[in-house]
Structure 1
Amino acid sequence: MAVIHTTDAEFQQTIKEGVVLVDFWAPWCGPCRMISPILDELSEKLGDAATIAKINVDENPETAGRFGVMSIPTLKLFKDGVEVNTLVGVRPLAELEAAVREHLG
């Protein structure tokens, strides 16, 4: 499954079901560009088991504000609409995969 992009308007629907890792990012952010290929690889490894979503904080400030995102990239993990974990900064693939798999099944 490919990484999806979401917006303030779609956010609640995006995180409603299953395990969803959301990347709060912006195009001008160097570390955000560094983590992007890691998230693509994670999405390939997980397939349909979990969803990887990205939300541009410049275009969607409401959601970033609601979840207290102060620095990017911030990755928030949701299970059935409930926030279960937060990771700030670029993280290795193995750490992200472990964080997601902890909430699967």
Structure 2
Amino acid sequence: MSSFKELIASHPLVLVDFFATWCGPCKVLAPVLSEVKQEAGDRLKIVKIDVDKHPKLAAAKQVRGVPTLILFKEGQQVWRQSGVQSKQALLQLLNEHN
């Protein structure tokens, strides 16, 4: 868990994607996140966490469904949403917290 804290503190803005390889909506979200990263550049760090490989972390963050996105600003959670998000919604979110 301490490595997760270090990870979210390693950049001013970190978007964590809790996903599963078998999850259809997660597969839909993956290219959206790639596009968001391309547009956001160095303003944002995106971290993908497989809930099947890290069940304790997913439980600690109360992830009940995938995909679940959590945005951390300077190590503090500022936003959380489950389900597929649009590129526009995510870019707007980044602009609000940047």
Question: TM-score w.r.t. structure 1 length?
Answer: 0.87
Counterpart position of 1:11: 4
Shift of 1:9: 6.2
Counterpart position of 1:55: 49
Shift of 1:10: 3.2
The partner residue of 2:64 within 70, 79, 99 is 70
Any stretches of 5+ residues in structure 1 without a counterpart?
1-7
Helix, strand or coil at the partner of 2:47: strand
Aligned partner of 1:77: which letter?
L
Distance in 1, matches of 2:77 and 2:14, equals: 9
Shift of 1:53: 1.0
Is the counterpart of residue 87 in structure 1 residue 81 in structure 2?
A: yes
Distance in 2, matches of 1:10 and 1:38, equals: 26
Q: Which structure's residues are more often helix, by fraction?
A: 2
Shift of 1:22: 0.5
CA RMSD of aligned residues (A): 1.2
Shift of 1:36: 0.1
Shift of 1:102: 1.1
Shift of 1:15: 0.5
User: 4+ runs of 1 displaced by more than 2 Å?
Assistant: none
